[in-house]
Amino acid sequence: MQLYNTLSAKERAKLIEEAGEDRLTISFYQYAHIGNPLIFRNHVFIQWNEINVLGRIYVAKEGINAQLSVPARNFETFKTHLDSITFLHGVRLNIAIEQDNKSFLKLKVKVRDKIVADGLNDDTFDVTNKGVHVDAEQFNTLIEDPDTVLVDMRNHYESEIGHFKNAITPDVDTFRDSLDTIERDLAEHKEDKKLVMYCTGGIRCEKASAYYKHKGFKNVYQLEGGIIEYTRQVKNQQLENKFLGKNFVFDHRRSERISEDVIANCHQCGAPCDTHVNCANEACHLLFIQCDKCAEKMDNCCSAECQQVIALPYDEQKKLRKGKKASNKIFKKGRSPVLKFKN
């Protein structure tokens, strides 16, 4: 029984090109109580692998978090399978605003301790005891209320290229950091303010809403479906769009443009720019913002040092990388001291 990938990303990309079929990039999550995550993981892998689903899925005792690429012709089969699972019946599916047939190139279903890393060792709150969900129209009304505090639950590199007007955007590297920062900064408003949160697709806000209710916040709201669903509703219902810039996404596209506003700057020259790239030096791979001029000047690198490395023969580059890990640089997205105009 196949429970793992048999094709490389390169081989899969070639098959997608040859097939010439449209694919849908989809994300969804659901907090639930899963008794045996490994058995559940194996079940969904087998079912989705048969219909050529690709993507990155995390399963834990607290639920499932999935970012997927599904062949358009298999969408109904995929949806039928989801509906056959009790806690996933009717689950909201966020379909990407901008499609890319190669957004994912492998099917990875992993068992994790949690579907959203939060660093918490607090088992006394129930992640299913969430705050009030609001749609785009309700959200627009709510954030105009002077008694509302609007908080972006994403990390600094996400909010840097796009966020809602007047939102608090914590300068944090992780979701765990934002939980502490927001609780500390808003402690005096637990009872007199409406705490309204948003994130990419809703999963971080949902856990945060349960956490803040547990911590004593009385009026907790979250944007249902996150920025992705907000954008769809704004377009379909012709509502005012209160989001500025791009929505950062966690696949090969890196972002979806929501408005024409460019609110970020190239990290190397300071020119208006909101294009995230990864440093061409594989030993670095730092995520940062780079304009076209700097990309040409720097050979798609973050620094002169990395530029020198990629000029070496590939075998020499591999030798330099051997035994070294770049995970810390990758984690500190946009934080490298070599970036003169970093946020």
With beta carbons less than 8 A apart as the criterion, state whether 3 and 41 touch. no
pLDDT at residue 51 greater than cutoff 80: yes
Q: Which pLDDT tens digit goes with each residue over 159-177?
A: 999 999 999 999 998 888 8
Contacts of 23 (CB under 8 A, 6+ apart): 16, 69, 70, 71, 72, 99, 101, 103
Q: Which pLDDT tens digit goes with each residue over 121-149?
A: 666 677 788 899 999 999 999 999 999 99
CB atoms within 10 A of CB 187: 11
pLDDT of residue 121: 67
Kindly give the pairing relationship between strand 132-134 and strand 287-289.
unpaired
| Predicted confidence band of residue 283 (pLDDT cuts 50, 70, 90) | confident
With beta carbons less than 8 A apart as the criterion, state whether 209 and 151 touch. no
Percent share of the chain, pLDDT over 90: 59
Place of tokens 């993507």: 55
The answer as to CATH 3.40.250.10 being correct for domain 132-232 is yes
Token output for 314: 């590939």
Mean pLDDT, the chain, integer: 88
pLDDT of residue 2: 59
pLDDT at residue 4 greater than cutoff 80: no
- Fold for the domain defined by 9-111: Alpha-Beta Plaits (3.30.70)
With beta carbons less than 8 A apart as the criterion, state whether 321 and 312 touch. no
Residue boundaries of the structural domains of the chain:
9-111, 132-232, 276-331
User: Kind and range of the H or E element at 293?
Assistant: helix 292-297
pLDDT of residue 230: 95
| Predicted confidence band of residue 305 (pLDDT cuts 50, 70, 90) | very high
More confident residue, 123 or 260: 260
Pick from 287, 128, 94, 289: nearest CA to 199: 94
Average the pLDDT over 19-44 and give the result: 91
Q: Please tell me the least confidently modeled range out of 186-195, 269-278, 318-327.
A: 318-327
Q: Which of the residues are catalytic?
A: 199
Token output for 149: 């505090």
| Predicted confidence band of residue 343 (pLDDT cuts 50, 70, 90) | low
Q: Which pLDDT tens digit goes with each residue over 81-128?
A: 999 999 999 998 988 777 777 788 889 999 998 888 777 766 667 778
Q: Please tell me the least confidently modeled range out of 137-141, 292-296, 314-318, 328-332.
A: 328-332
pLDDT of residue 330: 47
Q: Which amino acid is at 279?
A: C
pLDDT of residue 331: 44
Check for a shared fold between 9-111 and 132-232. no
More confident residue, 38 or 116: 38
